[in-house]
Structure 1
Amino acid sequence: MRDSLFIIAAFSEATERPPVWMMRQAGRFMPEYWEIKNKYSFLEMCKTPEIAADVTMLPVDLLGIDAAILFSDILVTGEAMGGDLSFTQGVGPKFANPVRSQADIDKLSDNVGDKLQYVADAIKVIQQRLDGKIPLIGFAGAPFTVMSYLVEGGSSKDFKLTKLMLHNEPEMAHQLLSKIATVTADYLNLQIEAGVNAVQIFDSWAQALSWDDYTEFSHNYIQQIISKLNRKDIPVISFCKGSSVFAPLMAEAKPDVVSIDWNVDLLDIKKRLPQGVAVQGNLDPHILYADKKVIKERIHRLFERMKGENGFIFNLGHGIMPDIPFDNVKYAVEVIKEWAP
């Protein structure tokens, strides 16, 4: 896969056009996804290799993107460690046994490779189906984001309980984060061994943190994880909501690519990053609700801005929303693939 458009761009080498993939590209905006989802629970879909492969392949077959991303969830590590995880339609993920005390942290296991073997099995099935056409991206949730779900017991608007642990019980928070970081590095290496061609670390809730708290409770652990990865020929992408603020610090963890949200000028942030660090992004996903002429104009505006820059992967600043029209997403991919600088 070293000669694929996506991998070349991820390693900051010249490409004839920017490669395209989109976060949440195999998801709820597709009728074909719902045909599968209506038959199985979300966790069944993640844990059944053939079904995970079916969903992973949807945007490959229907959109023609330049990289596939494994269909799974960032919280499978939390579940493998001992979290009682469930997903409810309209509510989202829930952990029935939230982690609030030292005893709760002590109960969590940090040796869980056997419990995540289903992910390795799915990767092997997906790679058979891809048959070398495009690269497969593996991924994991970053320690702070996984911790927030474990501590809150689910999604949160203010992360009050998580921040209370960071501020009142920092030693406990570090123990929990350290366990998650160990599991995450092992999990990403398991994916690499199974055959993914790139990995992305998702810190979905990093924007909840101040600069100092992000440095201490997120960045340091992502740095640890990246340092442990078997990353020869495997680009590492670092993403967080808040990357427009945290990108220079994110680059210090030595990823190959920093994925940027839509709150910043992409060229400006790229010029502030070290030479050889690629950028991914950063179209506001809400643009995909707009008229097609607007979608085309905004993509062209971004591409004109990044013209002549090596190391640029087109993506959204965050994931595709469930009610974005499928035709608009397909049109966006067509516009990108037709781009001739």
Structure 2
Amino acid sequence: MKDSLFIKAALSQQTERPPVWMMRQAGRFMPEYWEIKNKYSFLEMCKTPEIAADVTMLPVDLLGIDAAILFSDILVTGEAMGGDLSFEQGVGPKFANPVRTAQDIDALDVDVTHRLQYVADAIKVIQQRLSALGDKQIPLIGFAGAPFTVMSYLVEGGSSKDFKLTKLMINNHPELAHKLLSKIATVTADYLNLQIAAGVNAVQIFDSWALALSWDDYTEFSHRYINEIISKLNRKDIPVISFCKGSSVFAPLMAEAKPDVVSIDWNVDLRDIKQRLPQGMAVQGNLDPFILYADKKVIKEKIHRLFERMRGEKGFIFNLGHGIMPDIPFDNVKYAIEVVKEFRY
């Protein structure tokens, strides 16, 4: 994969243009995704290697992106530890047995990689499909949810707008929060190493709800555990990407955990952040995903403006500041990728 634009950029090497992939690129904005989704439940899709491979390959085949990302979910670790996980249409993920007491935390398993073997199996199928593309060199990104984000789903029992129960735990019972986070961090490091052993070419850690935290709480209840996870990864030749909503604020702390790439949301000037990060640390981002609803002329202008801003900077992967929304027109996503691929420095 050394000739892959994505791997080169992730390792802060010179590229003739920024590589492109997009968070949630194998998702609900594609009719082909729904053809599969209408036949299977979401967890069936995640847990059946051939189906997970089919979905992973959709953006490779239909969009021509520069990197694939494993089709799975950040909450499979929580389920493997003992969470009773389900996904409801229009509601999202639910844990029927929320984790709120010391007894609940004690009941969670940490030796669970055997329960996640289906992910390793999916990775092997996907890599067979990618290698069949010949010289294209499309790397596969594995991923996991960060401990704070997984914790919030376990404690709240699902999605939350205010994270009230999670914040009550970290404020009133920080010792319980740390015990829970420590368990999740152990599982997450093992899980990412399982993916690396199975053949992914890079990994990304998603802290989707970090923006709910203050600076001090992010430092204590998120950064500390991401730092622990990254330190345990078998990362030789495997770039590590750290992403959170709130990265425009937390990027200096994120960098202290020594990822290869910090993925940045859309609330900040990307060049400014890049120049404040350690030398040789790449950035990923940071187009506002809502721009993909706009006219194609606007999409092109906004992408070119970002690229001109990043001109001369090594280590830049084009992505969105967060994921593609389900109702963004497929043609607009395809057009944005074409604009990126036609660009030359």
Counterpart secondary structure, 1:279: strand
* 1:217-296 matched pairs, under 5 angstroms: 217-296=221-300
Counterpart secondary structure, 2:190: helix
- Tell me if structure 2 keeps the 8 A contact 1:28–1:34: yes
Deviation per residue, 1:301-339 (Å, 9 max, x gap):
000000011000000000000000000000000000000
Q: Which residue of 2 aligns with 1:139?
A: 143
Counterpart secondary structure, 1:254: coil
* Residue 171 of structure 2 is aligned to residue 178 of structure 1: no
Q: Which residue of 2 aligns with 1:297?
A: 301
Match of 1:212 among 200, 213, 216: 216
Work out the CA distance in 2 between the residues paired with 1:49 and 1:273. 38
Q: How big is the shift at 1:280?
A: 0.0
* 1:77-226 matched pairs, under 5 angstroms: 77-131=77-131, 133-226=137-230
Deviation per residue, 1:176-195 (Å, 9 max, x gap):
00000000000000000000
Q: Which residue of 2 aligns with 1:6?
A: 6
Work out the CA distance in 2 between the residues paired with 1:173 and 1:110. 16
Work out the CA distance in 1 between the residues paired with 2:253 and 2:228. 14
Dislocated runs of 4+, deviation >6 Å: none
Work out the CA distance in 2 between the residues paired with 1:53 and 1:18. 26
Work out the CA distance in 2 between the residues paired with 1:166 and 1:282. 30
* 1:287-326 matched pairs, under 5 angstroms: 287-326=291-330
Work out the CA distance in 2 between the residues paired with 1:245 and 1:88. 33
* 1:55-66 matched pairs, under 5 angstroms: 55-66=55-66
Q: How big is the shift at 1:3?
A: 1.9
Work out the CA distance in 1 between the residues paired with 2:219 and 2:201. 28
Work out the CA distance in 2 between the residues paired with 1:62 and 1:245. 35
Superposition CA RMSD, Å: 0.5
Deviation per residue, 1:87-146 (Å, 9 max, x gap):
000000000000000000000001101000000000000000000631000000000000
Counterpart secondary structure, 2:16: coil
Mind listing any 5+ residue stretches in structure 1 that lack a counterpart?
Answer: none
Aligned partner of 2:107: which letter? K
- Tell me if structure 2 keeps the 8 A contact 1:6–1:19: yes
Q: Which residue of 1 aligns with 2:49?
A: 49
Percent pairwise identity:
88
Q: How big is the shift at 1:246?
A: 0.1
Work out the CA distance in 1 between the residues paired with 2:240 and 2:344. 28
Q: How many residues in Structure 1 have an aligned counterpart in Structure 2?
A: 341
Counterpart secondary structure, 1:99: coil
Work out the CA distance in 2 between the residues paired with 1:241 and 1:277. 19
Deviation per residue, 1:255-301 (Å, 9 max, x gap):
00000000000000001100011000000000000000000000000
Aligned partner of 1:292: which letter? K
Q: How big is the shift at 1:340?
A: 1.8
Work out the CA distance in 2 between the residues paired with 1:228 and 1:285. 32
TM-score (norm 1): 1.00
* 1:16-55 matched pairs, under 5 angstroms: 16-55=16-55
Q: How big is the shift at 1:2?
A: 1.9
- Tell me if structure 2 keeps the 8 A contact 1:2–1:233: no
Aligned partner of 1:65: which letter? I
Deviation per residue, 1:49-73 (Å, 9 max, x gap):
0000000000000000000000000
Aligned partner of 2:316: which letter? F
Work out the CA distance in 1 between the residues paired with 2:149 and 2:257. 17
Aligned partner of 1:304: which letter? E
TM-score (norm 2): 0.98
Q: Which residue of 2 aligns with 1:70?
A: 70
Counterpart secondary structure, 1:94: strand
Work out the CA distance in 2 between the residues paired with 1:170 and 1:179. 14
